[in-house]
Amino acid sequence: MIQTFPTDKFRTIDTPFYYYDCDLLRETLHVIEEEASKHKGYIVHYAVKANANKKVLNLISQTGMGADCVSGGEIQRCLECGFPSEKIVYAGVGKADWEINLGLDNDIFCFNVESEEELEIINKLAQKRGKIASVCLRINPEVGAHTHANITTGLAENKFGIALRYVPSIISAALEITHINLIGLHFHIGSQIMEMQDFQALCARINDIQDDLEKRGVKVENINVGGGLGIDYNDPEGHPIPDFQSYFNTFAKHLKLRKEQKVHFELGRSVVGQMGSLITRTLYVKQGKSRQFAIVDAGMSDLLRPALYQAHHRIVNLSNTDDLQSYDVVGPICESSDVFAKEVSLPTVHRGDLLAIRSAGAYGESMASQYNCRKLPTGYMSDEL
Ligand code: LLP
Q: 188-207: per-residue pLDDT in tens?
A: 999 999 999 999 999 999 99
Cβ 182 vs Cβ 167: under 8 Å: no
- The candidate with the shortest Cα–Cα distance to 369, out of 312, 283, 310, 308, is 308
Domain ranges in the chain with CATH number 2.40.37.10: 274-382
* Residue ranges, CATH 3.20.20.10, the chain: 21-271
Mean pLDDT lowest among 26-40, 140-154, 285-299: 140-154
- The per-residue pLDDT of the chain, averaged, comes to 95
pLDDT digits (tens, 9 = 90+) for 65-119: 999 999 999 999 999 999 999 999 999 999 999 999 999 999 999 999 999 999 9
Residues 235, 18, 151: CA angle, nearest 5 degrees: 60
Half-sphere exposure (Cβ direction) of 307: Cα atoms closer than 13 Å: 20
**67 Cα to the center of ligand 1, angstroms:** 13
**Ligand 1 atom index nearest CA of 227:** 13
Q: Is 334 a residue of the active site?
A: yes
Distance of alpha carbon 269 from its chain centroid, rounded? 4
CATH number of this structure's domain 274-382: 2.40.37.10
Q: Please tell us whether the domain made up of 21-271 is placed in CATH 1.10.10.10.
A: no
**CA neighbours within 13 Å on the CB side: how many for 203?**
18
Is 314 annotated as ligand-binding?
Answer: no
Our CA angle for 203, 209, 211, nearest 5°, is 100
Q: What residue ranges in the chain does DSSP mark as E strands?
A: 17-20, 42-47, 66-69, 88-90, 110-113, 133-138, 180-186, 222-224, 262-267, 276-287, 292-296, 315-317, 324-330, 339-347, 354-357, 378-381
Please give the distance of CA 161 from its chain centroid, rounded to a whole number: 18
CA–CA gap between residue 299 and residue 15 (Å, rounded): 11
- Do the beta carbons of residue 362 and residue 53 sit within 8 Å? no
**CA 53 – CA 69 distance, rounded (Å):** 14
Whole-number Å distance, alpha carbon 114 to ligand 1 midpoint, is 16
Per-residue pLDDT at 145: 75
- Nearest Cα residue to atom 5 of ligand 1: 188
Task: Collapse the DSSP code of 42 into the 3-class scheme (helix H, G, I; strand E, B; otherwise coil) and give the result.
Answer: strand
User: What is the tens place of the pLDDT at every residue in 114-144?
Assistant: 999 999 999 999 999 999 999 999 999 988 7
pLDDT tens digits for 147-187?
Answer: 776 666 666 667 888 999 999 999 999 999 999 999 999 99
Task: Please report the atom of ligand 1 found closest to the CA of residue 226.
Answer: 1
Q: Which residues line ligand 1 (CB under 6 A)?
A: 47, 50, 68, 91, 151, 153, 188, 191-192, 226-229, 266-270, 305, 309, 363
Pocket residue to mutate for ligand 1, from 136, 266, 304, 309, most atoms within 8 A of Cβ: 266
Structural contact between residues 263 and 40, judged by C-beta atoms closer than 8 angstroms: no
Which atom of ligand 1 lies closest to the CA of 148? Answer: 25
